[in-house]
């Protein structure tokens, strides 16, 4: 919660209080991406305008093949747009050098995937350390921060467990701890509950929905799961590569 020094607090909504400087973090302007094959051109993302403010929770719905993952890859700079621009904190991703793009992904973004993407041979704590070690954070500090991050997702008693000794929900919590540990500005979650049963998925959704409030990160939550929309500040929908706002 923000500190306030005036007497008008009662006239300000809770949403405003939680987002004191809700400026645009991410801005997409007429972004398009085509995949070319010998026989056809797939217009995976077409003329998309989108913005995400700091600490905003945006749910992105849409049928299979509508372009959701492609959009996340464009936002992450892992794919380059054929047209339009993706700006993060005012900077066009197309202007990044390779090392700036890498630094952008490592320091500003966190990723959560449907299939967890944990390293099989590493413990929960080691998995969470990875993004910090890649950034050159010293070993001892990385382990301390990883432990704290795992405690924040309720896994302080699973530090030494390798993924094969964790439940699906626990694996996703480790992945969320890993996404969080570098204090990113934006978390991109692609079908984070897709491999989980309803109850476990609900708990993971709650955790993701709390990230803006508790960790100051904006979240783009790609999902087929309509339940995610109840947590979202905004709900967007992709259809055939085009984006519209539902709520």
Ligand X SMILES: Nc1ncnc2c1ncn2[C@@H]1O[C@H](COP(=O)(O)OP(=O)(O)OP(=O)(O)O)[C@@H](O)[C@H]1O
Least Å distance, CB 228 to ligand X, is 14
Stretch that binds ligand X, among 65-73, 102-110, 167-175, 229-237 (CB under 6 A): 65-73
Answer for which of 69, 125, 152, 172 binds Mg ion (CB under 5 A) is 69
Stretch that binds ligand X, among 61-69, 120-128, 132-140, 198-206 (CB under 6 A): 61-69
193 touches ligand X by CB under 6 A: no
Answer for which of 26, 48, 54, 66 binds ligand X (CB under 6 A) is 66
Torsion of CA 209, 213, 214, 216, to 10 degrees: 110
At 222, give phi and psi (nearest 5°). -80, 130
Our CB check for Mg ion shows the closer of 69 and 123 to be 69
Q: How many residues bind ligand X (CB under 6 A)?
A: 11
- Which residues between 67 and 106 bind ligand X (CB under 6 A)? 67-70
Our CB check for Mg ion shows the closer of 114 and 149 to be 114
Q: How far apart are CA 81 and CA 30, in angstroms?
A: 10
64 touches ligand X by CB under 6 A: yes
13 touches ligand X by CB under 6 A: no
Q: How far apart are CA 169 and CA 71, in angstroms?
A: 26
Our CB check for ligand X shows the closer of 62 and 169 to be 62
Residue corresponding to tokens 């701890």: 177
Stretch that binds Mg ion, among 46-54, 64-72, 150-158, 168-176 (CB under 5 A): 64-72
Stretch that binds ligand X, among 62-70, 97-105, 128-136, 209-217 (CB under 6 A): 62-70
Could you tell me which residues are beta bridge partners of residue 220?
Answer: 58, 188
Residue corresponding to tokens 């952008």: 104
Contacting residues toward ligand X, per CB under 6 A: 35, 42, 44, 62, 64-70
Contacting residues toward Mg ion, per CB under 5 A: 69
């Amino acid at each position: 919660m923000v500190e306030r020094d005036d007497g008008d607090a009662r006239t300000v909504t809770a949403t405003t209080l939680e987002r004191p400087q809700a400026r645009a973090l991410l801005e997409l302007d007429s972004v398009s991406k085509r995949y070319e094959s010998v026989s056809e051109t797939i217009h995976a993302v077409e003329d998309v305008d989108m913005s995400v403010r700091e600490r905003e929770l945006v749910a992105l719905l849409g049928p299979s093949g509508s372009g959701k993952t492609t959009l996340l890859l464009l936002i992450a700079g892992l794919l380059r747009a054929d047209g339009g621009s993706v700006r993060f904190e005012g900077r066009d991703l197309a202007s990044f050098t390779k090392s700036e793009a890498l630094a952008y992904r490592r320091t500003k973004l966190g990723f959560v995937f449907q299939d967890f993407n944990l390293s099989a041979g590493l413990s929960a704590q080691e998995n969470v350390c990875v993004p910090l070690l890649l950034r050159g954070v010293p070993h001892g500090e990385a382990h301390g921060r990883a432990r704290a991050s795992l405690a924040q997702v309720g896994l302080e008693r699973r530090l030494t467990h390798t993924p094969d000794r964790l439940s699906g929900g626990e694996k996703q919590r480790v992945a969320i701890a890993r996404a969080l540990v570098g204090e990113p500005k934006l978390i991109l979650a692609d079908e984070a509950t897709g491999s989980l049963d309803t109850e476990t998925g609900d708990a993971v959704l709650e955790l993701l929905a709390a990230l803006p409030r508790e960790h100051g990160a904006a979240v783009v939550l790609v999902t087929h799961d309509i339940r995610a929309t109840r947590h979202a500040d905004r709900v967007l929908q992709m259809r055939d590569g085009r984006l519209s706002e539902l709520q």
